[in-house]
Structure 1
Amino acid sequence: MQQHDQKKAYIYGLSAVLIWSTVASAFKIALSHMEPLHLLFYAVIFSTLALLIILIIQKKIGQITLMSKRELLKNALPGLLNPFLYYIILFEAYNLLPAQEAQPLNYTWAITLSLLSIPLLGQKMTARELLAIFTSYLGVVVISTHGDLLDIKFSNGYGVFLALVSTIVWALYWIYNTKSTADPLIGLFLNFCLGLPFVTAAMFIFSGPPPVNGPAILSAAYVGLFEMGITFALWLKALKLTEKTARISNLIFLSPFLSLILIHLILGEEILPSTLVGLIFIVGGNIIQQMGKRTA
């Protein structure tokens, strides 16, 4: 049985949060060298290899060989949502929007998950959840309109639409996985194994062969290793070591604010006051929702 070690849990959890805080900037840097589908192709390759190495180190590969074909397919099918569909939509949103807008909008996925859980999982909506939804989506409007609520004109309507659609796909992925009994890392590895052929086909059909140069490959490798692969393992390790899940899950609220700082320092984007205000609303909505779960 895994022993609790709160100090190590914080180290793993903070490491994951710090890395995730860099990915919005990494997305924009990588997309300056290649198209979204090229980025996804390289990133999925690197993340799949990283997950394979982690599973070998953790001696979990044997669990995959013991799975039936039906179990393998069941655990691989979500790969059509993640990484295939989710990252195609997300990377295109980042391609169209400033990082300071795309990142907070994507952060509303937890609220989207609550909304979709009503029809798909039969859950009931509480007054607290309604308040959380209203608060978060008010933040979305503030960010998308640059704070001009009386004259609603989106900075890039299609980009905003894609960023919000990506939260639907991500929420559907997690809802599907609520029924999975497989180890989370094994499930993610199988997702990526199935997703890679679809990503490859889409890339050659719509974008052609990927660029072969150092900056493109290195930036995509960073995205694959630290957005999709290694960081997920760090987060799972933190959750296993912690005495209380809430102590670690609360750390995730640091990520979007750290991300804004890095977006300013690395990408040189001037952070608009409306972005900060909108992000506070979005995070506030997430906190309200989490409070509801703990008192339920």
Structure 2
Amino acid sequence: MSKLSNNTQAMLFGLGAVILWSTVATAFSISLRHLSPTQLLLVANIVSLIFLTTVIIAKGEAKQLISIAKQSWKSSLFFGAINPFIYYLILLQAYDMLPAQEAQAINYTWAIMLSFMAVPMLKQRLKTADYIAATACYFGVLYISTRGQIASLEFSNLTGVAFALLSTIIWAFYWLLNTKDKRPGLIGITLNFAFALPLITIFAGITGELSNWDNKGLWGAIYIGLFEMGLSFVLWNKALKLTTNASQVANLIFLSPLLSIIWLSQFAGEPILRSTLIGLACILAGLFIQNASKRNKHPK
């Protein structure tokens, strides 16, 4: 069998990451039945840190990790405080309050939020396509959060929706700041988890969540730390390094929410809501419009 081309390998790595991401909403849903958001994040963070550190050691970059940790401990603490600490606490609160299918669909609007936040932060300009995409996406959010009862504006759980939308702001803010981060990708994310660990532990101690653990939720938390916060990042990073067409790989992300709904119905016992399907279709349409606009502007 002939050797696979770099682009083919990139698509396979990207597909692997997307499939793993698609299972996360199910893992969140099942784990949060037994653990609080803080407990889930603490376990997942530890597992992810162990996995990523192991990968770095296997690559022979342990000395570089230590060196960069000493040089950039302030930025590592700052980035770690945003992601995973604050971001995942907010996101998991949303998943704890909403059906997972609703929380994950709303969370996918972070790309639209990124475009709007890039205006003041990176001095970028919005195009007509951005406004059209935003209208489609946030109509989808409204449809999902009211369970299709838009006229009455009766939200199924307004606080949960607010947490889900807030998570998109934090995630977009993190990635905009990340454009100025000089640390290598894998080492940078590993240091984020390392410096976030004491913050999460202190927070768990203050809120009294270092005790009263339900062991039934541990396997789900371990799965999230290993696959959502660990292996998926390594696979996605590898895909982007191998490909000569980043947009082609990025388009794989559209598969994730669709697969996610299937896993939720099959393994988490969540009935698929018609309002989620319609709202998600609007959100994906908006993201597609935004991506198509970027490809037209930068065809290469």
* Structure-1-length-normalised TM-score: 0.95
Residue in 1 aligned with 2:184?
Answer: 183
The Cα of 1:211 is off from its aligned counterpart by 4.6
Query: Number of aligned pairs?
Result: 294
Deviation, 1:247, is 1.7
CA displacement at 1:61 relative to structure 2: 2.1
CA distance in 1, matches of 2:261, 2:13: 22
> Using the alignment, how far apart are the partners of 2:227 and 2:69 within structure 1?
30
Q: In the aligned structure 2, how far is the partner of 1:252 from the partner of 1:274?
A: 21
Structure 1 residue 70, shift from structure 2 partner: 4.2
1:33 aligns with 2:34: yes
* TM-score between both structures, scaled by the size of structure 2: 0.94
Q: RMSD of the TM alignment (CA)?
A: 1.5
Counterparts of 1:69-218 in structure 2, within 5 Å, are 69-212=70-213, 214-218=215-219
Aligned-pair identity (%): 44
Contact 1:4 1:242 in 2 (8 A): no
Pairing 1:266–2:271 present:
no
Give the gaps of 5 or more residues in structure 2.
none
Contact 2:22–2:260 at 8 Å: present in 1 too? yes
Which AA in structure 2 matches 1:257? L
- The answer for the alignment partner of 2:290 in structure 1 is 289
Q: What is the deviation of 1:174? A: 0.6
- 1-side partners of 2:187 and 2:26: how far apart? 28
* CA distance in 2 between partners of 1:97 and 1:13 (Å): 28
> AA paired with 1:292?
S
1:222-261 matches, within 5 Å, as 222-261=223-262
The Cα of 1:210 is off from its aligned counterpart by 4.3
Any idea what the Cα deviations from partners look like across 1:74-103, whole Å, max 9, x if unmatched? 244211110110011111110000011101
- Superposed CA deviations along residues 147-172 of structure 1, whole A, max 9, x for unmatched, are 11111111000000000001111111
Q: CA deviation at 1:198?
A: 0.7
Deviations 1:197-218 (A, max 9, x none): 1100111111331455542221
In the alignment, the residues of structure 2 paired with residue 277 and residue 184 of structure 1 have an alpha-carbon distance, to the nearest angstrom, of: 36
Consecutive unaligned residues of structure 1, counting only runs of 5 or more, are none
The one-letter code sitting in structure 2 at the alignment partner of 1:165 is: L
Taking a change above 3 Å as real, the CA distance of residues 12 and 36 of structure 1, as seen in their structure-2 partners, is same
Q: CA deviation at 1:134?
A: 0.8
Deviations 1:31-64 (A, max 9, x none): 1111111111111000111110111122222222
Note if contact 1:30-1:216 (Cα within 8 Å) is conserved in structure 2. Answer: yes
2-structure distance, mates of 1:163, 1:116: 17
Which amino acid counterpart does residue 97 of structure 1 have in structure 2?
A: L
Deviations 1:95-119 (Å, cap 9, x if unpaired)?
0000111010111111111111111
Secondary structure of the structure 2 residue equivalent to 1:66: helix
8 Å CA contact 1:47–1:229 kept in 2: the answer is yes
Contact 2:20 / 2:227 at 8 angstroms: preserved in 1?
yes
d(CA) in 2 for partners of 1:62, 1:11: 31
Deviations 1:218-267 (A, max 9, x none): 11100111111111001111111223112211101000000011111111
Which moves more between the two structures, 167-176 or 208-217?
208-217
SS in structure 1 of the partner of residue 248 of structure 2? helix
Distance in 2, matches of 1:262 and 1:216, equals 18
Structure-2 separation of matches of 1:81 and 1:125:
26
Decide which moves more: 124-133 or 208-217. 208-217
Using the alignment, how far apart are the partners of 2:223 and 2:155 within structure 1? 31
Query: 1:4: how far off?
Result: 5.6
For 1:69 and 1:12, how far apart are their aligned partners in 2?
A: 32
Contact 2:69 2:191 in 1 (8 A): no
In the alignment, the residues of structure 2 paired with residue 75 and residue 36 of structure 1 have an alpha-carbon distance, to the nearest angstrom, of: 23
- Residue number in structure 2 paired with 1:280: 281
